[in-house]
């Protein structure tokens, strides 16, 4: 079957390997970059090369296809400002509330704010 494999990660720096198992007990077969597939970084997808009509048939199972990627920000300047803001909020909260447990108060404002700020940057597991 043809089509792109969408990777639910951002940003992806490189893809070092795309491999698959044809049967459940088979060893991984490694594809060749720029012959079998290519990485379309602008859309975060692994695409078949022109002239390759479909991906190899694979075994059923959650480890039938394995894609090894290097993902993340390469330096502090490339980290989004919203993530840096969330870190500052959390560190400030921890500085003011140094005890592991605070009795007699209920406060979830900082956690909710940090979660809301980071929600657009979270990576969620995606099964294909």
Q: What is the pLDDT of residues 64-88, one digit of tens each?
A: 888 888 888 889 998 999 999 999 9
String of DSSP letters for 23-73: STTSPPEEP-BTTTEEEETTTTEEEEPTT--SPPP--SSTTSEEEEEEES-
Q: What is the pLDDT of residues 7-43, one digit of tens each?
A: 877 788 888 888 988 887 788 889 888 888 888 877 7
pLDDT higher for 124 or 94? 94
In the chain, what are the domain boundaries? 5-71, 76-118
Q: What is the mean pLDDT of residues 93-113?
A: 74
- pLDDT at position 86 is 92
Q: The pTM is what?
A: 0.63
């Amino acid at each position: 079957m043809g089509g792109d494999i969408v990777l639910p990660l951002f940003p992806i720096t490189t893809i070092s390997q795309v491999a698959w198992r044809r049967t459940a007990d088979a060893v991984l077969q490694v594809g060749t970059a720029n012959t079998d597939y290519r990485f379309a970084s602008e859309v975060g997808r692994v695409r078949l090369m022109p002239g390759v009509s479909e991906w190899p048939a694979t075994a059923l199972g959650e480890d039938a296809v394995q894609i090894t990627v290097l993902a993340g920000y390469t330096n502090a300047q490339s980290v989004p400002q919203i993530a840096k803001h969330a870190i500052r909020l959390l560190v400030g909260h921890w500085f003011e509330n140094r005890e592991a447990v605070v009795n007699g108060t209920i406060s979830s404002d900082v956690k909710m704010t940090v979660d809301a700020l980071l929600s657009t940057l979270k990576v969620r597991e995606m099964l294909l």
